[in-house]
Amino acid sequence: MRPIDKLAELGGPLLQIAGEQDQHTRLDESQRLYAAAAEPESLWVLPGAADLDFHAFDPAAYEARVGAFLGSHLSAVENATP
């Protein structure tokens, strides 16, 4: 599997969430995935987080960040619909 090869073809907004201490997808790998993705894109690195449930790690930050991203991009789609 090489997701990096297909990221630019997604055709939609991407919010990539990475744990700073993740040993399965290291931070340098997450940064390369982010660099390969097409706009609009956003990378959020959670300091101290490993490979886990990011919502459980920091519920308030997760809800704020993901909610803002979805609100921004869903409203853009909603406004574009005739």
pLDDT at 79: 61
Could you tell me the pTM of the whole model?
A: 0.82
Q: Taking Cα atoms as reference points, which of 42, 38, 16, 41 lies closest to residue 29?
A: 16
Going from the C-alpha of 10 to that of each of 38, 40, 46, 63, 66, the distances in angstroms are 8, 10, 24, 24, 18
* Domain encompassing residue 22: 14-80
Number of domains in the chain: 1
Q: Is residue 6 part of a domain?
A: no
Q: What are phi and psi of 30, to 5 degrees?
A: -60, -40
The residue among 44 and 75 whose pLDDT is bigger is: 44
CB 30 within 8 Å of CB 2: no
Whether residue 56 is contained in a domain is answered as yes
* Collapsed DSSP state (helix, strand, coil) of residue 23: coil
- Note whether residue 24 is domain-resident: yes
* Residue 36 is assigned to a structural domain of this protein: yes
Would 3 be classed as within a structural domain?
no
In a domain, 76, yes or no: yes
User: pLDDT tens digits for 5-31?
Assistant: 888 888 889 999 999 999 999 999 999
